[in-house]
Amino acid sequence: VVYEEASQVANDAVSSIRIVASFCSEKRVMDLYKKNCEAPRKHGIWQATIGGLGF
């Protein structure tokens, strides 16, 4: 659930890889994927920090 948006971007890119490649959009798709992974990554780091302080 956390990486749902990033997973959707990856799924769309893989299913239409020919279109992505024909428009030379690989970098754009990767940037979009990284952007969608950033918030869940920060949240995970925050949870790990809080969990570490609690124990």
- State how far Cα 1 lies from the chain centre: 12
The pTM assigned to this predicted structure is 0.78
Rounded CA separation 46/33 (Å): 21
Quote the domain boundaries for residue 19: 4-54
Rounded CA separation 37/26 (Å): 17
For 15-48, what is each residue's pLDDT tens digit?
999 999 999 999 999 999 999 999 999 999 999 9
Domain tally for the chain? 1
Length of the chain (residues): 55
**Which pLDDT band holds residue 54 (cuts at 50, 70, 90)?**
confident
Rg (CA), the chain: 15
